């Protein structure tokens, strides 16, 4: 893809139907659970992106038998009941946060000697809570560059522990990693959750997925009881379409006053970003779960209010709401999102810088751990994306309504949604054709 993408303005005249790839969150959890299972598990509807390919590459380096058919969107993995075929290996998680956290816990719990490498972007993201925990329970972790960050070595003889406490504030991925790895402990694991995100959507997603794989985790308040279970067998598993990716197109319905259906996405989805539909309802969209998929319809006059919303539990959609906010009738306040400063980019800073570049007043509100965005007239500009796929995808939406929006480094979308700009091209081509 070119280094820059000029968005063409588009006002659709009819209902838009979209297909999105499989869920990244479900794909990478399913890859880990398949690898820990006892037998061959065939995953269908798999997302193929930079993140999932990083996870698959790591499993192959670890010696797992993996059969990949990208055109069919399938992956078959032979699990060995919790055993790692190659117990002395080097892997590279690249920029995949899920692979980074999940595989670190899996390898530490399984035992062996491993070198874990990553991209420069992943080196900046937090690993210290998991590294500190592993050291406390007897794993040797040697950070090669900066303490508490990638790259590092793990030397483990396995884990002999019954109870662990993990803080959820920085990233719920640490908890998901421990939940899935916990099945490897012969006495099971009592995992106590602390911090601000103990009821987080991604923790619930992990628990739901484990149940679907036949692993019954009992939860009592902020304590999860993970059973020892390396005998489960799941011959096949279907991965849901990605709700996070679908939300960009639901936002199009609001911005452009049209109807958008994303095929295969339904209201009973396990994914936390389905909560973004409640935000769209507050913005006066209508929501209908049809046989094809959820249909979102925005007001024909494209008028909607500003709102105040706590997005702590579906913060990946912060950027999506942020790019809608300039077109609202009143200010938009997004709260409890301080943790997004430590993701692929400092997303609070990035939002403020790029909206300001576009002529929109936007302020950080530290007392609310969030941002306030004011309505305004968008001016043409080149949008920086900070190697952050969600910044690129969200800010593209502005250009569907306003001329002169250019996205710098659109290729970063390959992290989770390789054909995003192909879909945008198809949408805008309809405008060109009449």
Report CA Rg, the chain: 22
pLDDT score at 433: 44
Whether 4-21+240-432 shares its CATH topology with 24-225 is answered yes
Binding site: residue ranges?
Answer: 24-25, 29, 97, 125, 171-173, 316, 343, 347, 390, 415
CATH number for the region 4-21+240-432 comes to: 3.65.10.10
Q: Kindly report the backbone phi and psi dihedral angles of residue 313, in degrees, each rounded to the nearest multiple of 5, phi listed first.
A: -95, -5
Average pLDDT along the chain: 95
Q: What is the pLDDT of residues 348-395, one digit of tens each?
A: 999 999 999 999 999 999 999 999 999 999 999 999 999 999 999 999
Q: Which residues are annotated as a binding site for phosphoenolpyruvate?
A: 24, 97, 125, 173, 347, 390, 415
The model's pTM: 0.92
Catalytic positions: 316
Tokens of 431: 């405008």
- With tokens 């999932």, the residue in question is 52
CB atoms within 10 A of CB 291: 5
Annotated binding site for 3-phosphoshikimate: which residue ranges?
24-25, 29, 171-173, 316, 343
Asked if residue 91 lies in contact with residue 61, where contact means CB atoms within 8 angstroms, the answer is yes
Tokens of 374: 């004011």
The pLDDT of residue 431: 47
Other beta carbons within 10 angstroms of residue 314's beta carbon come to: 27
Looking at 45-170, which runs of residues are DSSP E strands?
A: 65-69, 74-80, 88-92, 112-117, 140-143, 152-156, 163-167
Which CATH number is correct for 24-225, 3.65.10.10, 3.40.50.10300, 3.40.50.2000, 3.30.200.20? 3.65.10.10
Burial (CB < 10 A; 0-12, 13-18, 19+), residue 296, is: buried
Q: Which residues of 172-204 are buried (b: 16+ CB within 10 A; e: fewer)?
A: bbbbbbbbbbbbbbeebbbbebebbbbebbbbb
Residue 171's pLDDT is what? 86
Domain limits, the chain: 4-21+240-432, 24-225
Which residue numbers in the chain have pLDDT < 70? 1, 12-13, 430-434
The gap from C-alpha 261 to its chain's centroid, in whole angstroms, comes to: 21
């Amino acid at each position: 893809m070119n280094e820059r993408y000029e968005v063409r303005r588009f006002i659709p005249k009819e209902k838009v139907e979209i297909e999105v790839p499989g869920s990244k969150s479900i794909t990478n959890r399913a890859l880990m659970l398949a690898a820990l299972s006892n037998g061959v598990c065939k995953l269908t509807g798999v997302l193929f992106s930079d993140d999932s390919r990083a996870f698959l590459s790591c499993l192959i380096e670890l010696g797992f038998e993996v059969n990949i058919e990208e055109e069919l969107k399938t992956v078959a993995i032979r699990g060995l009941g919790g055993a790692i075929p190659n117990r002395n290996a080097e892997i590279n998680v690249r920029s995949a946060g899920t692979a980074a956290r999940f595989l670190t816990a899996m390898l530490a719990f399984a035992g062996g000697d491993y070198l874990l490498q990553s991209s420069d972007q992943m080196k900046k993201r937090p690993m210290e809570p998991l590294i500190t925990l592993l050291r406390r329970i007897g794993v040797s972790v040697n950070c090669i560059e900066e303490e508490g960050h990638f790259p590092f070595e793990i030397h483990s003889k396995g884990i002999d522990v019954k109870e662990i406490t993990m803080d959820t504030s920085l990233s719920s991925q640490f908890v998901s990693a421990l939940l899935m790895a916990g099945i490897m402990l012969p006495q099971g694991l009592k995992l106590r959750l602390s911090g601000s995100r103990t009821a987080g959507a991604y923790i619930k997603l992990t628990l739901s997925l484990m149940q679907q794989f036949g692993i019954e985790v009992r939860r009592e308040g902020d304590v999860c009881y993970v059973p020892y279970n390396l005998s489960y067998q799941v011959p096949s598993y279907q991965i849901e379409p990605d709700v996070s990716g679908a939300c960009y197109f639901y936002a199009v319905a609001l911005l452009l006053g049209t109807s958008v259906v994303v095929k295969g996405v339904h209201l009973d989805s396990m994914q936390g970003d389905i909560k973004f539909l409640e935000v769209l309802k507050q913005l006066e969209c209508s929501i209908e779960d049809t046989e094809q998929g959820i249909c979102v319809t925005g007001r024909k006059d494209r008028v909607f209010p500003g709102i105040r919303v706590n997005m702590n539990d579906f913060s990946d959609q912060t950027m999506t709401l942020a790019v809608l906010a300039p077109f609202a009738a009143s200010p938009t306040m997004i709260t409890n999102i301080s943790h997004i400063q430590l993701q692929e980019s400092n997303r609070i800073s990035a939002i403020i810088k790029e909206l300001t570049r576009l002529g929109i007043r936007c302020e950080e509100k530290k007392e609310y751990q969030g941002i306030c965005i004011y309505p305004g007239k968008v001016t043409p500009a080149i949008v920086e994306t900070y190697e952050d796929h969600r910044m690129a995808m969200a800010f593209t939406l502005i250009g569907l309504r306003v001329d002169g929006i250019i996205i710098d480094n659109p290729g970063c979308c390959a992290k989770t949604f390789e054909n995003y700009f192909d879909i945008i091209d198809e949408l805008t081509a309809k405008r060109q054709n009449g």
